[in-house]
Amino acid sequence: MSPELIQYIQTFDDGREPALENLGGKGASLVSMTAAGMPVPPGFVVTTACYDAFVAEAGIAKQVTTLLDGLDADNVEEVDRVSAAIREDLCSRPVPDTARRAVVEAYTALMEICGDGAPVAVRSSATAEDLPDASFAGQQDTYLWLSGLPAVTEHIRRCWASLFTSRAITYRLKNNIPNEGLSMAVVVQKMVNARVAGVAITMNPANGDRSKLTIDSSWGVGEMVVSGQVTPDNIVMDKITLQVVSEHIGDKHAELVPDAASATLVEREVSADRTGIRSLTDAELTQVAKMAKRAEKHYKCPQDIEWAIDADLPDGENLLLLQSRPETVHSNGTAGQQPTASSQPKNPATGAFDLGSITQSLMGTGR
């Protein structure tokens, strides 16, 4: 991407430092996760610079100042009228050529990785307290299953326009938040087409043993694992050496798979030849475990991650991290049970080691 375009776009993995003011909270988080070896579904951020260039060149910035000047937050009708006018402009006025080219190039490159016409999600990524609350922005401005450039650019504009919903305008007026410098980044990201998916916990949740790592895995999208609708494969691994300590093959009778035509997930039976075998190969199992370990290291506490292996992406790039959150049930615990050996008084005659426990080991009480 040429230097004049690069300010408008940041792909998740292009190595640039994630700056909140350019990428918004969501965009910055996706870039930093990718950099930390936790590959989220691939995509790019349309930066705040892109929005800024658009509203400046299209004359929208000036108009916004005029329209909002002296607006009464309690005059609902007037707020609605102003909101509609601004959003109409944001959705219709021409985008500057360089900004448009940047988005087109980034989208084309993404389609090269994912396969032509692969559905994407478009989501707003606000930079600050410009909007009522995070959930407002997040919920209202996530558009799923978008295919083709026209649909993508249309929804980028819709995300921009969400800065000026009536509710957002009223919120800023009442909280004295200035409209100068108001901006919005937008995330464009591949929709996950999970062949296999599940969760991984960087400990053994059965006993809180932090030297283990537990993976649940089933065919298709991970929702059925998370909600307990299928019995997934359950694998306990040694977290340090990644050796399999125990594994149970679940029956995995059903799977959810994306259906782009209806833009939903559809449930189907899993064929008999796939129910009896483990849904992850040895190599995939190791990859999932390593990613979970990286997440734990990155966040500095035991993690509970959701992951998927994407059917569209090439091997080596197809393992995706969908979510990572602290494991809360056991995190306060120590590794395993309290050992009985260390509670024995040390024999002073033996210095650094404890003969009492050696005796105990040999007598089979410490097994």
Partner 1 sequence: MSAKSFPKPSELPVPEGAEGWEKLYPYYLVFQDKLKAIEDEKFWFCDSQHWPTVFKPFETVGTEFASKCLGQYNARHLMIPTAKGIDFRIHLGYLYFSPLPVPEEEIAARVPEFQARVGHYFQNWDTLLQQWKTKVLGTIDEMETLEFKPLPDMVPMEDIISGKGTDGSEVLLENYDRLIQLAYQNWQYHFEFLNLGYIAYLDFFNYCKEIFPGIPDQSIATMVQGVDMELFRPDDELKQLATLAVELGLQDRFAKPDDVDVTLASIGAADGGQKWLDRWAEAQDPWFNFTVGNGFYGHDKYWNEHLEIPLGYIADYIRRLDEGQDIMRPKEALIAEKDRIVEEYRELLDGEQLATFDAKRGLAATAYPYVENHNFYIEHWTMGVFWRKVRELSRTMHGYGFWEHEDDLLYLGRNEVRDALFDLVASWGVGNPEGPIGPHVWPEIIAERTALVSALKTARPAPALNTPPEAITEPFTRMLWGITTEQVESWLGAGEEGSDGVLKGMAASPGIVEGVARVIMDADDLSQIQQDEILVAPVTAPSWGPIFGKIKATVTDIGGMMSHAAIVCREYALPAVTGTGSASTTIKTGQRLRVDGNKGTVLVLDGDHAATVVEGPGAHSHQHAVTAEEGATADV
Q: How far is the CB of 283 from partner 1 (least distance, A)?
A: 9
301 binds partner 1 (CB under 8 A): no
Nearer to partner 1, 261 or 352 (CB): 352
Task: Candidates 32, 179, 211, 331: give the one binding partner 1 (CB under 8 A).
Answer: 211
Q: How far is the CB of 358 from partner 1 (least distance, A)?
A: 4
Nearer to partner 1, 108 or 361 (CB): 361
349 binds partner 1 (CB under 8 A): yes
Task: Candidates 173, 244, 249, 265: give the one binding partner 1 (CB under 8 A).
Answer: 244
246 binds partner 1 (CB under 8 A): yes
240 binds partner 1 (CB under 8 A): yes
272 binds partner 1 (CB under 8 A): no
Burial 158-184 (b: 16+ CB within 10 A, else e): bbbbbbbbbebbbbbbeeeeebeebbb
Q: How far apart are CA 194 and CA 221, in angstroms?
A: 5
341 binds partner 1 (CB under 8 A): yes
Q: Which listed range, 48-56, 109-117, 191-199, 244-252, lies at the site for partner 1 (CB under 8 A)?
A: 244-252
Task: Candidates 282, 315, 326, 329: give the one binding partner 1 (CB under 8 A).
Answer: 282
366 binds partner 1 (CB under 8 A): yes
Q: Which listed range, 164-172, 218-226, 248-256, 340-348, lies at the site for partner 1 (CB under 8 A)?
A: 340-348
Task: Candidates 2, 139, 262, 342: give the one binding partner 1 (CB under 8 A).
Answer: 342
355 binds partner 1 (CB under 8 A): yes
Q: How far is the CB of 362 from partner 1 (least distance, A)?
A: 5
Footprint of partner 1 on this chain (CB under 8 A)?
204, 207, 209-212, 236, 238-246, 277, 281-282, 334-337, 339-342, 347, 349-359, 361-364, 366-367
